[in-house]
Each structure stands twice: as C-alpha cells, then as structure tokens.
A and B are shown apart, each in its own frame.
Chain A
C-alpha cells in the first residue's frame, strides 16, 4: 500500500509538513484513483478538477509558508446535499438539476478556510432519503468491496470514495444513520456528532431536528481531525451549540480500562445477520478483556424508535421540501397556472421515495391525524431520550452493530420500503436523542464484506466516544482493503 491515495489524513499531513509530498501530488493520486474506480462505482456526481487544482496550489503555498493546519491540502469529498458556491449542487434530485448555488455552507467554508481541497460532490439517495444510494436521480453508486452491492446510504457516495481511496475523507450527513450505515457497509469510519455541534447552514435539510453533518474517514483519528475543522458555534444556525467545543483528543490513547460499556439486548436482535451478531459479541468480549466493564442495559422504547422516526422525519421533510416549487431555482415543468406548474414540477422533479415521504409527512401532520401520528411519535422520542439518559447513569458508552446486515445487493430491497427502513434500526435512536455515535469497521463477513460496530455516547460525549472507538480500532486491527482500492483493478 504505497499509494499516496491510501494514506490516512494524519500521515498525509506529516508528509505535507515535512515537504515529502505536496497537496497537488495528493490530489493527483486521488484523481488517478478516481479515474480507475469511478467507472465501477459512480460515487462522484461532480469532480471539480479545476477548482481542486487551484485549492491544492493555494494549500501548497500556505504549507510552504509554514501556515498549514491539519486539513490544509487534504483532498476531501462532499456529499452533494452540501451547498457549494459556484459548484453544481443537486441533492441527487432532478428538481435541483443544474443549480449553481451563490453561497457556501458553513462546514464547507470552514474547510475552505483551512485550504482543504474539495475534489467533488458525491452521490446520495435523493434528499438523503434512503439507505442504499439507489434512490438517486443520477444513477446507483456501488460498493467498492463488491460492485454488485450497495454502499449503503444515504451518504453512499461519500463512504465509497473514502473506501476506494478517491478522497482522503468525506463529509456525509446523518439523519437516521446516513453516515454510519454506509461507513459500516464500506468498511470505513463514520461519525454522527452531537446534534448542534456542526452547523447545518448550507446542508440541504431533510429533517431539521435530526440532521447532522459528520465525517467519513479511514481512521478514528482522521474523524477527529475533520470534526475539529468543522465543529463549533455558527451564528447562521440558530440550533448550533453555543458552548465550548470539547477536547476530542482527550481520550484517544487512554484505552478502555475501567470504561463502563453498555450492551442493550434491544439492539442485538436475533433477526440480524449472524456474522454481524457474532462479530459484535466478539468485540464486546475483546473490550472486556481490555479492561472495560461490560454491562447489560435496557432500552425498551427503541423498539418504537423506528416507527417514530418514520413519522417525524417525513413530517419535517414535507415542509423542508416545500420550497422546491419551480419558482426561484431548479426544475420547472410548465402549467397553465402557477399552482399547476408547482404541482407538476414537484411530481416530476422528485423521485418515488421522496414523494412517498412527503406524502407520509403531510398526512402525519394533517388535521385529525397530528395527535395520533406526529404528536405520538414525539412522545416516543421523549421516551427514547429517557431510556438513554437512564442507561448513561450506569455506563459511559453504549455499543451495538451499526447495521443489522452487511452490504446487500443492488435492487434487493429497493421495492420494499419497510425492509429498507429496517437498515437503520440501530442508528435511528441516536438521531432521536441527539447524541453522538460512531461506526468503526471490525471485520468481514463470510462474503468478505465489512462489518461496522457502533459506539454511542451522551450528548457532547465525543471525547469518551473517540476514546472507545480508538481502542476498538486497535483491537479490531482492521486492515483489509476493498479490491477496487488496490492496484489489481484497472
């Protein structure tokens, strides 16, 4: 693995710092890799070669001047639901086809400020609604470990490019597991930070009270590096956390001796893939051997979390997506009247999964059904939060599989929404509670597909989350690479 494209951010940063390589070289390596992998994966929607080359040149000047930060000169990818000034942003939807934003989202501009190099925009399930990246108006993204399989979703493009080495890291967004689940299915690290820690300004909203931007990286420490660059209060986001950002590195090398680790039976279910269950249990044992105090905890309400999520997220989405109406930007399908134009534009511009969720959310909020559906779902949300709060009185972190299965085949679940929704059963509770969670690859199943292990912590508990995740990474010693990321493929 001598290719620059496979380095971690921390290693690449050292080489940049010592002058052994340049940002332009890193970018070349990544673009070369993309040149090989993209025809198999279709993970990028846009590769901005010119913009990236300029950014790399700026980064090299800055590094030469001794002014480089950890992310300076590092080629990264952005999920295409993050608004980028001057670069087409589609959210993988026909309705935003050709939209060139006049502004940058906050996470994007923070990365620009340190001269990180944006390679391009990655594919997603349209408006981040899905768990397979099959619901894109611009084609399916495939898993670098097996191109017959999905990369997970909705940040499937971001997970795939990081796994394949066509970016050092990527930003995804996680509303019900959309960073963690594809990270798990692609054998990389995926973090959903505490709600409010990363500004949502410029993240095209799916469900505002659940959405959170998070990094997808090839190591836990890389996740810390990216998070450090993007976290912190933003005046443009009223829901942005106003307090001081915790020291994410505090426990990175502390190990897990004495750490109280909770295992919830509700998140280790018999209907999960046996290899996933076995790998999870093995890692729990390894943690115990490493000195962690493993405890059984109960989260009775998480059984209802999935149902609550599939009311709350569509309800918020039904309003968030109302602005796509053919008036000010994006697609317009003409009509005799504006009302007709809007209705046609929306029916033709949105894909079936988006329409399904808009209808579901509209219904859940409508007169006569609000209390029974949306209101009740919010009460379940309260119970989920209470369960977590009670659990965290006795444990420092909770662990579970990230996804009930490893990567499934393209088309396997795309006709069965409910089966697809079940992919997020372990990840959704953290979105409802607002707490941070991370997925770390811990092994492969019998088909050679990666298995992700999830760690959850209370809000602003990123330091302990990273502490546990770093030790899990060491214990798992997961060094396998997807075939596509090796030189065997051309």
Chain B
C-alpha cells in the first residue's frame, strides 16, 4: 500500500464587527428583523454607489499585521462577477491580484511539535445576504420557494488564506483555534463559528509520501466548529485514501460536511467552475496604505496570544492552564492584574482556571458580571500565605466573593473561616494542651513523635478548628524541644 501525506490549506472568512457595513451606513446587526438594515447601496438599487468603511480597513490591517503579513502599500478593489440571488449586485466587491495584506505566517504547536503555517494573503470583501429554502412541505408555500434577507449583505468580510502547509487534522484544528484567538484578541470580530461570523473552507489533497507534486484537491465547506473541521479532514483523508487505494482518481470538487452523518458529500464539480471575470472596481479608488497608517496599525496591536502564552509559561504555570487564560482574554486580564498587584502566579492561575471558570459555567454568567476583582485574588493569596486561611477555606471564601458576599476578609469573617495564626493566642492554647497531656509530651521528648498528631488534634479541637495546623505543629515541636 502507498503511504499518503495530506496537504491541507484553509480559507477563513471573518465578519468584522464594525458599527456600519463595508460600503454603506447600515448597521451591522445580526439580530434585526429580516430586511430592516438595508439601503440603496447594500440592496444594489439602481444608481447606488459603494463607499468603503475606514474602520473595516483598519480591522483587516490589524489582522494582517497580527499574522506577520506585509501591509501592501498600494492595493485595489476588484469586482468578482457571478450571479447568485443572495448577492444583490451579482458581483462581489473583493480583492484580486493586490490584496491589502500578503506573505505572512502563524506559529503554532500541534501534537507537541512547533509548526509554522504560511499565510498567502488576507483580503477585504463584503458578505452576502441569507437565503432560506422552503421545501414542498414548507410552512409558507405549497410550491418550492426561497426567501431572501439582505441584512447581512455588505457586512465587512475578511478572507485569510493559508499556504498548503498543513499536514494533519490536528494542525488544522490548532490553526483554527489560534486564528480565532488572534481575531478576538484584536477585538475586530467575535469570530463565532456556530453563528457564522467565522467560517472555514478546507482544501484537502493527498500525495504519496516523498512526492513534491500536489494531488487533486477537494474543498470542504460547512464546517461550523473546530471539531467539525478536524473530523471533516479526517473523513476526507480516509475517503481519498480509499479512492486512491482502489485505483480511482480524486475529482476536483466542492464537498459539503454533513454534521448529522459525519461525512462529506459532493456539492458540485469544479470542472464547470465559474469564470469570475475579475476587473478593477471602477466605483472605488485605489487604496494607499502609507508608512504612517501602517505604524498606527502596528501601534494598536494588543499582546497577541502566542506572546501572552510564552509570558505565562515563564511564570511557571503549565501549558494547559496558560492555554485557558490565553483563549479567554478576560481570564488572562484578571490573571495579569492579580499578579501585578502581588498575587502568586501559580495560585492565581489555579483559582482563575479552577474555581472562577467552574463558577462561570455553573451560574452561566460572564466574567464581567462577577463581583470579583484582581485585588480580591491578591488579598486571598495574602491570607493563605499569612496562614489565616487554609487552602480549602480559601476556595470557600472565593466562592463567597463570587456570590457577592463581599471582600475575602469579609467573607472569611462572616463565614467564620479565619484560622488563628496569631502566635501568642496559639501558644496559650498549646501550653494548656501540653500541660494536660504530660505523658504524650514525655514520649516525644524521648524521641517518639507519634503523639504529635494527637496533640495537634487536641489544639484544633480546643480552637474549634480555626487554628492553622501547620503552625500548631510547629509550636508543639518547639515546646517539646525546650
């Protein structure tokens, strides 16, 4: 049997969350009633003209910069001509031979191996409307019809195209996750796969290991989650392997990932591929991104996930914990603030990725809705270090803080969880217990340490469990030595 290697390239579409659409002043609003955020421009009424949204250009440039692309000084909009009812002008304003960003890369770690994926280009375009298909038994009409809503038409859309550098489904999944994090970190899109504000088209082909030349590829659409992308690629690799092994040839085509059956099915053959008749958009002027504009873009780039991740790893926290705080910017910010105000990184990270995440999940709240501040975490950490709170009690206190019961001090007080870590107070209790148990003290003085546990227990009992057991143990040892 021939051994095959997969060659995978990914085209990602990201909807930018600007206030208004790409070429008109209609709001970007995905919750509006059908056809209520439309105007002459995005409905392609006769005579209407597009004017580009400056913020969208800033948005795409920040994505390009984050992906180490060259920000192209002179670029152009083109018309991509094809007829489809959800495309009001029957051409899409896009970019062709000179995109705004080109030749970048992204570094990821997949299957434990660092890996670099080339970014061919990042270009600006506009989204289409949405069509709903009403079947013969549809609720609206007896006859088979389709309905069109143009609210989404003209929403700024960024397309990010990789080189065919990806070799495994896991690499593809990690790439998708990393790209999603980058886009969210930049604050240009919520990049929700399930809602379509981030969408992947995956090109997959196989070639015998060692062969330079690429095999025939298929393009898989409709992968609406990172897990779907992983499974769709695995399926496609298996399917193509089977075809090739049985002496068949791969048909260049678009395939649809079916979530229910967990397989790809053929949509249309690319042989009859559209002739898009690209030409420079005469309604728009060329784009000129000068040095000052580029500098502005670079200056506004926040700390990117890769950098944040390595910074976290340097504090000694583990890869998984770091990953959770990189993936969720809010958690990361809370962590950074807690550490900045003096909390121990490991302790803070454990609370944030443990109790805090669990609480958010359980109460279905957003981090911003929690009455928890970085200072609270720092205070909690100080209390534990000072011995006035046990590790177990600290988790209880944190729960109380998140439930709105006040600061860690207040919660510890009101829930009566403070440890007695005042040496003077404890020494009195210890001395009383030692005086009452001379036998045990004698045993220890003769070198038998067994009664220590018993003595500590007696002190804990006498203090109602609020003594710091480590400190009690320490005090008993010291007294016995004297």
- Residues 257-313 of B at the A interface (beta carbon under 8 Å): 275, 277-279, 282-285
A236 near B49 (CB under 8 angstroms)?
Answer: yes
Query: Among the listed A201, A236, A323, A362, which residue makes an inter-chain contact with B44, where contact means beta carbons less than 8 Å apart?
Result: A323
Q: How far is the CB of B237 from chain A (nearest CB, A)?
A: 32
CB-defined contacts of A327 to chain B, threshold 8 Å: 85, 88, 148
Known: A319-B89, A327-B85. 17 other contacts (CB 8 A): A102-B45, A103-B40, A200-B49, A204-B46, A205-B47, A237-B49, A237-B51, A239-B49, A315-B279, A316-B282, A319-B279, A322-B89, A325-B85, A327-B88, A339-B83, A365-B277, A367-B275
| In contact, A323 and B277 (Cβ under 8 angstroms) | no
Q: How far is the CB of B130 from chain A (nearest CB, A)?
A: 14
Cβ contacts under 8 Å, B43 to chain A:
328
Q: Which residues of B contact A82 (CB under 8 A)?
A: 47
Determine whether B376 belongs to the interface, using a CB cutoff of 8 Å to chain A: no
Could you tell me the distance between the alpha carbons of A324 and B456 in the complex, rounded to whole angstroms?
89
The answer to whether A365 and B279 touch (CB under 8 A), given A99-B46, A237-B51, A325-B85, is yes
Q: Which 9 A-B pairs have the closest CB atoms?
A: A322-B90, A208-B282, A365-B277, A209-B282, A83-B47, A323-B44, A202-B47, A204-B46, A238-B51
B79 interface contact, C-beta 8 A: yes
30 A-B residue pairings within 8 Å (CB atoms): A82-B47, A102-B40, A102-B45, A201-B48, A202-B47, A203-B47, A204-B47, A207-B282, A235-B51, A237-B49, A237-B51, A238-B283, A239-B49, A239-B282, A316-B279, A316-B282, A319-B90, A322-B83, A322-B90, A323-B88, A325-B83, A325-B85, A327-B88, A328-B43, A329-B45, A338-B85, A342-B83, A362-B277, A365-B278, A365-B279
Residues of A contacting B88 in the complex (Cβ-Cβ under 8 angstroms): 323, 327-328
Chain A contacts with B in 305-344, Cβ cutoff 8 A: 315-316, 318-319, 322-325, 327-329, 338-339, 342
When C-beta atoms are compared, the residue in chain A nearest to B283 turns out to be A208
CB contacts (< 8 Å) of B45 on chain A: these are 83, 101-103, 328-329
Measured CA separation A96–B83 after assembly (Å): 19
Bound state CA distance, A399 and B284, in angstroms?
Answer: 32
**A200-B79 Cα distance, complex, nearest whole Å:** 18
Chain B nearest CB, measured from A102 CB (Å) = 7
CA distance A35 to B44 in the complex (A): 36
User: Which residues of A have CB within 8 Å of B283?
Assistant: 205, 208, 238-239
* Contact-residue bracket for chain A: 35 or more
Residue A105 at the chain B interface, CB threshold 8 Å: yes
Is B51 within 8 A of A96, CB to CB? Answer: no
Interface of A is mostly: loop
Closest to A329 in B: B45
Contacts of A339 in B (CB 8 A): 83
Q: Is A239's CB under 8 angstroms from B46's CB? A: no
**Which residue numbers of B lie inside 8 Å of A, CB to CB?**
40, 43-52, 79, 81, 83, 85, 88-91, 146, 148, 275, 277-279, 282-285
Q: Are B50 and A238 in contact (CB under 8 A)?
A: yes
Residues of B within 8 A of A394 (CB): none
With A319-B79, A367-B275 known to touch, is A83 a contact of B46 (CB < 8 Å)?
A: yes
Residue of B nearest to A316 (CB): B282
Q: Which residue of B lies closest to A105 (CB)?
A: B47
Complex contacts, A99 vs chain B, CB 8 Å: 46
Distance in Å: Cβ of B429 to nearest Cβ of chain A? 80
Complex: A200 Cα to B47 Cα, angstroms: 8
In the bound complex, how far is the Cα of B41 from the Cα of A328, in angstroms?
Answer: 13
Q: Which of A101, A315, A327, A365 has the most CB of B within 10 A?
A: A327
Q: Are B46 and A89 in contact (CB under 8 A)?
A: yes
Tell me whether A238 and B275 are in contact (CB under 8 A): no
Asked whether A238 and B277 contact (CB < 8 A) given A202-B47, A323-B46, A328-B43, the answer is no
CA distance A156 to B283 in the complex (A): 26
Residue of B nearest to A341 (CB): B85
Q: A203 to chain B: which residues have CB within 8 Å?
A: 47
Closest to A367 in B: B275
A239 pairs with B90, CB closer than 8 A: no
A366 touches B277 (CB 8 A): yes
How far apart are the CA atoms of A82 and B285 in the complex, in Å?
A: 23
Render A356-373 as a binary contact track against B, CB cut-off 8 A, 1 for contact.
000000100111001000
The minimal Cβ–Cβ distance linking A479 to chain B, given in whole angstroms, is 38
If the complex has contacts A204-B46, A238-B52, A316-B282, are A365 and B81 also in contact, measured as CB distance less than 8 A? yes
User: How far is B81's CA from A370's CA once the two chains are assembled, in angstroms?
Assistant: 14
B47 close to A239 (CB less than 8 A): no
Question: Residues of A contacting B81 with CB < 8 Å?
Answer: 318-319, 322, 365
In the assembly, what is the distance between CA of A238 and CA of B79, in Å?
A: 15
- Report yes or no: A201 in contact with B148, Cβ–Cβ below 8 A: no
Question: Nearest Cβ distance between residue A91 and chain B, in whole angstroms?
Answer: 7
Residues from chain A with a CB closer than 8 A to the CB of B277 are 318-319, 362, 365-367, 370
Interface string of A179-213 (1 = CB under 8 A from B): 00000000000000000000011111101110000
A55-84: CB near B (< 8 Å → 1, else 0) gives 000000000000000000000000001110
Task: List residues of chain B with CB within 8 A of the CB of A367.
Answer: 275, 277
Least CB distance from A379 to B in Å reads 14
Other-chain contact of B91, A101, A200, A322 (Cβ < 8 Å)? A322
Tell yes or no: A374 within 8 A of B by CB.
yes
Q: Say yes or no: B279 contacts A374, CB within 8 Å.
A: yes
> Smallest CB-CB separation from A328: which chain B residue?
B43
Residues of B within 8 A of A83 (CB): 45-47
Complex-state Cα separation, A89 to B317, whole angstroms: 69
Complex CA distance for A201 and B50, rounded to whole angstroms: 9
Shortest distance in angstroms between A310's beta carbon and chain B's nearest beta carbon? 16
Q: What string of 1s and 0s marks CB contacts (under 8 Å) between A87-123 and chain B?
A: 0010100001001011101000000000000000000
With a CB–CB cut-off of 8 A, which chain B residues contact A103? 40, 45, 48
Inter-chain CA distance A91–B88, complex, in Å, is 19
Shortest Cβ distance from residue A461 to the other chain B in the assembled complex, whole angstroms: 21
Separation of A370 and B97 alpha carbons in the complex (Å): 14
Specify the chain B residue showing the minimal Cβ separation from A365: B277
Q: Given the complex, which residues of B lie within 8 Å of A89, measured CB to CB?
A: 46
Instruction: Name the interface residues of A150-186: CB closer than 8 Å to any CB of B.
Output: none
B52 contact set on A, CB distance < 8 A:
238
Q: How far is the CB of B399 from chain A (nearest CB, A)?
A: 55
Q: A101-B46, A102-B45, A367-B275 are in contact. Are A323 and B89 (CB under 8 A)?
A: yes
Q: Which residues of B contact A96 (CB under 8 A)?
A: 46
Q: Which residues of B contact A205 (CB under 8 A)?
A: 46-47, 283
In Å, the complex CA distance between A329 and B44 comes to 10
A362 smallest CB distance to B (angstroms) = 7
Report the minimal beta-carbon distance from B145 to chain A, rounded to whole angstroms. 9
**Alpha-carbon gap, A201 to B47, bound state (A):** 6
With a cutoff of 8 Å between Cβ atoms, the chain B residues found around residue A366 in the complex are: 275, 277
**Residues of B with C-beta under 8 A to A81:** 47
The residue of chain A having its C-beta at the shortest distance from the C-beta of B281 within the complex is A208
Residues of A within 8 A of B91 (CB): 319, 322
When C-beta atoms are compared, the residue in chain B nearest to A208 turns out to be B282
Could you give, for residues 369-393 of chain A, a 1 whenever the CB lies within 8 Å of some chain B CB and a 0 otherwise?
0100010000000000000000000
A195 to B89: give the CA distance in the assembly, Å.
Answer: 23
Nearest residue (CB) in A for B52 is A238
A205 to B52, CA, bound (A): 18
In the docked arrangement, what's the CA distance between A105 and B40, Å?
A: 11
| Cβ contacts under 8 Å, B275 to chain A | 366-367
Minimum CB distance partner of B77 in chain A: A238
Residue of B48, B88, B278 with most partner-chain A CB within 10 A: B48
CA distance A477 to B118 in the complex (A): 71
Closest approach, in angstroms, between the C-beta of A249 and any C-beta of chain B? Answer: 30
Q: Are A91 and B46 in contact (CB under 8 A)?
A: yes
Residue in A99, A209, A236, A315 with the greatest tally of chain B CB atoms within 10 Å: A236
Picked from A236, A322, A323, A325, the residue with its CB within 8 Å of the CB of B51 is A236
Contacts of A204 on B, CB cut-off 8 Å? 46-47
Q: Are A338 and B146 in contact (CB under 8 A)?
A: yes
Inter-subunit contact B46/A238 (CB<8 Å): no
Bound-state Cα–Cα, A204 to B45, Å: 9
Q: In the complex, what's the smallest C-beta–C-beta distance from A201 to chain B, in angstroms?
A: 5
CA distance A370 to B29 in the complex (A): 39
Complex Cα distance, B38 from A103, in Å, reads 13
